[in-house]
Structure 1
Amino acid sequence: MKAFRDLVESSIATGSLVGVDSLLADDVVFRSPVAFKPYPGKAITTAILNGVSRVFEDFRYVSSIEEDNRSALVFEATVDGVTVNGCDFITTNEDGLISEFTVMVRPMSGAKALMDAMAAQFPQIQADAVAYMEAQQ
């Protein structure tokens, strides 16, 4: 999805993806590369994506595949000095909003580094999700 890629490429280095929520459907489902259960909803997905922007270093998309309402955005980054290769699989709904967001990463050392870094972020992610929900009411 070009709008998401453009937003990430222009702002991930700041540690915040301001405006990412405007690209997400209210009922978006986020699937983490390191958690079994999906995370449903715009608030938690926004908070997770912002958390990711705080842990990835030297992030860059290296290629993409677009087909109808589906995109695969291949990326490279580092987390705590460990190389991560991955892919964001994005599905959009009839309104053009992201309805499904699945992330896959490799190698195992990169997945472990990402898991550890995101675990450290999770208290902030939870607080951000609650604050987002309160602001929307």
Structure 2
Amino acid sequence: MRAFRAAVEAHDMDAVEALLAEDVVFTSPVVFKPYRGRAVTAAILRAVERVFENFRYERAIGDPDGRDHALVFTARVGDRELGGCDFLHLDEDGRIDELTVMVRPLSGAQALQAAMAAQFDRVTEEAREDRTPSAG
């Protein structure tokens, strides 16, 4: 999905949030239970943006006009290099209703888990704030 990729690459987290469906389901690479809802997903993505260093998308996989997309990325967390993929599914309105992230290797996933755990209080606080993009 070009709009999501462009927003992430521009570090425009408000634009990223605007692309999320209200009932989006986010599946983390380091937590078993999925997160549900725009507010918590946006807060998690803001934290990821703070934690990842040298993040870049390498390529997109899928039909540009379809509803399923995969964006392959590389990043660093602390001293760990990692590779991963964002799997996106769009609803009928073109908003992201499913976002699944996978990362490798295990040492990179562990570094990501530790870094995100340090962000947990801020994520919880941001998820409670009303950051919903206004319509108009």
- Specify if TM > 0.5: yes
Corresponding residue SS for 1:83: strand
Contact 2:77 2:111 in 1 (8 A): yes
State the superposition RMSD in angstroms.
1.6
Counterpart residue number, 1:115: 113
Q: For structure 2, list consecutive stretches of 5 or more residues without a partner in the other structure.
A: none
Partner residue of 1:46 out of 42, 47, 57? 42
**% of aligned pairs identical?**
52
Q: How does 1:88-107 map to 2 (within 5 A)?
A: 88-107=86-105
Alignment-derived partner of residue 3 in structure 2 = 3
* TM-score, length of structure 1 as denominator length: 0.92
> In the TM superposition, what whole-angstrom CA distance separates every residue of 1:51-91 from its partner, at most 9, and x where no partner exists?
00000000000011123101000000000121010000000
The change in CA–CA distance for 1:41 and 1:100 in structure 2 (over 3 A counts) is: same
State TM-score, norm by structure 2: 0.92
The C-alpha deviation readout for 1:99-118, integer Å capped at 9, x for no partner, is 00000000000000000000
Partner SS state of residue 90, structure 1: strand
Ranges in structure 1 where 5+ consecutive residues have no aligned partner: none
Name the stretch that deviates more: 103-112 or 18-27. 18-27
Task: Give 3-state SS (helix, strand or coil) of 1:48's partner.
Answer: helix
The whole-number CA distance in structure 1 between the counterparts of 2:61 and 2:54 is 21
* Alpha-carbon separation, structure 2, partners of 1:71 and 1:47: 22
Give the match for residue 57 of structure 1.
53
**Cα distance in 2, alignment partners of residues 80 and 37 from structure 1:** 25
After the TM superposition, which parts of structure 1 deviate over 6 Å for at least 4 consecutive aligned residues?
A: 133-136
Q: SS of the residue aligned with 1:132? A: coil
Which of residues 56, 64, 73 in structure 1 aligns to 2:71?
Answer: 73
Q: How much has 1:19 moved relative to structure 2?
A: 2.3
